[in-house]
Amino acid sequence: MAETPGGAVIEPGTRLSRAQRRAQLLAVGRTLFAAQGYHHVAMDDIAEQACVTKPVLYRHFPSKLHLYLAIVDAAGEELLTAIDRALRPVVAGTADSGEDVVAAIVSAYITFVDAAGESSALLFESDVMHDPDVRDRVDRASSEAVRRVAEVLAQVAGLPAVDSEATATALVSAAAGAAVFRMRRGEPTCERTAALVSDLAWRGIAGIVEHHTRSSDDLGSSHRFT
| The three-state (H, E, C) secondary structure of 69-121, written as one string | HHHHHHHHHHHHHHHHHHHHHHHCCCCCCHHHHHHHHHHHHHHHHHHHHHHHH
222: in domain: no
| Residue 220 located in a structural domain | no
The CATH number of residue 28's host domain is: 1.10.10.60
- Residue range(s) defining the domain that contains residue 25: 2-60
Tell me the whole-structure pTM to 2 decimals: 0.81
The reported pLDDT for the residue numbered 8 is 44
Same domain for 174 and 76: yes
pLDDT at residue number 181: 94
pLDDT at 219: 47
Please indicate, yes or no, whether residues 105 and 158 belong to a single structural domain of this protein. yes
Q: In the chain, which stretches have pLDDT less than 70?
A: 1-14, 95-96, 211-226
Statement to judge: residues 50 and 134 lie in one domain: no
Establish if 149 belongs to a structural domain.
yes
Distance CA 98, CA 209 (A): 10
Distance CA 95, CA 224 (A): 9
Residue 151 lies in a domain: yes
Asked if residue 28 is part of any domain, the answer here is yes
Number of structural domains in the chain = 2
